[in-house]
């Protein structure tokens, strides 16, 4: 994968097993098989005009405060 965001996402799915060896928490074969669908634009006709609920973990590094202003618009 040559996209930095993709690499960062994949790195969040590494975990150490009991022997201290890094293992994948998710199935990489399944991600690779469906990658074109994962990165494709969603189906639909334009933006959704209604309200939306955004959930995020308080300790999550994936959602930075700088982008929170955009979400509230």
Q: Whole-angstrom Cα distance, residue 27 to residue 47?
A: 31
Task: Give the Cβ contact number of residue 10 at 10 Å.
Answer: 14
CA distance 32 to 49: 33
pLDDT for the residue 36: 92
Q: How confident is the model at residue 8 (pLDDT cuts 50, 70, 90)?
A: confident
Q: Looking at residue 42, what DSSP letter applies?
A: P
> For the chain, what is the total number of helices (H) and then of strands (E)?
3, 2
Q: How would residue 53 be classed by pLDDT, with cut points 50, 70 and 90?
A: confident
Q: How confident is the model at residue 27 (pLDDT cuts 50, 70, 90)?
A: confident
Residue % of the chain over a pLDDT of 70: 79
Question: What is the span of the domain harbouring residue 54?
Answer: 4-71
Domain count, the chain: 1
Rounded to an integer, what distance in angstroms lies between the CA atom of residue 10 and that of residue 24? Answer: 9
Model confidence at 20, pLDDT cuts 50, 70, 90, reads: very high
pTM (2 d.p.)? 0.36
């Amino acid at each position: 994968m040559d996209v930095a965001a993709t690499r960062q996402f994949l790195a969040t799915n590494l975990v150490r097993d009991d022997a201290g060896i890094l293992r994948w928490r998710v199935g990489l074969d399944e991600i690779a098989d469906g990658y074109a669908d994962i990165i494709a634009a969603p189906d639909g006709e334009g933006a959704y005009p209604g309200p939306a609920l955004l959930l995020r973990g308080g300790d999550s590094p994936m959602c930075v405060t700088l982008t929170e202003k955009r979400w509230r618009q």
